[in-house]
Amino acid sequence: MNVLADLDVKAATSARDALAKELYGRLFNWIVLRINDATKDTSHKSNTIGILDIFGFEIFQLNSFEQLCINYANERLQQHFTNHTFDMEELLYKIEGVPYDNITYINNQDVIDLISGKASLFNTLDDEVVTPRGSDMGFLNKCKVKQSEEQRTGGA
């Protein structure tokens, strides 16, 4: 079924933006629910996802796609900082023969890959956007298929 609406450029742009915002908002809520389901068994301490929010005072009842992008950018900045602060300095100490204590830290590459890696949420969303008659349900189904493949192959 096709629906045709005669809109001027401003109204069409507004409708497009509202649709995109709603889609991204629903996607974010779905991701949060999936993460909550996956980590609700607190008997296993390895079930954690660490996301640095540089502006830790920001607490929202409902997050948006924009907030996901902000948190993702912060994760990339944190990764860059960590890499240069720990990894590069450690390498320099080894090269120069300087004794040092190894510092253990959490690497957030898995979180970054989930959001923007080769088989990531962003890439899946990009695929769905260019699919004829793409939809939020199509995107959700593609995410589920990728999750099933990942579970079947063990992330290989």
Question: pLDDT (tens digit, 9 = 90+) per residue, 4-17?
Answer: 888 999 999 999 99
Q: What is the pLDDT of residues 97-143, one digit of tens each?
A: 998 888 777 777 888 888 888 778 889 999 888 989 889 899 889 98
What is the phi-psi region of residue 154: left when phi exceeds 0, alpha when psi lies from -120 to 50, beta otherwise?
A: left
Q: For the chain, what is the radius of gyration of the CA atoms?
A: 20
Instruction: Say whether pLDDT at 146 is over 80.
Output: yes
Instruction: Say whether pLDDT at 57 is over 80.
Output: no
Q: Does domain 9-40+59-153 have CATH number 3.40.50.620?
A: no
The pTM of the full predicted model, rounded to 2 decimals, is 0.49
Of all residues in the chain, what percent carry a pLDDT higher than 70?
A: 85
Show me where the domains of the chain are located: 9-40+59-153
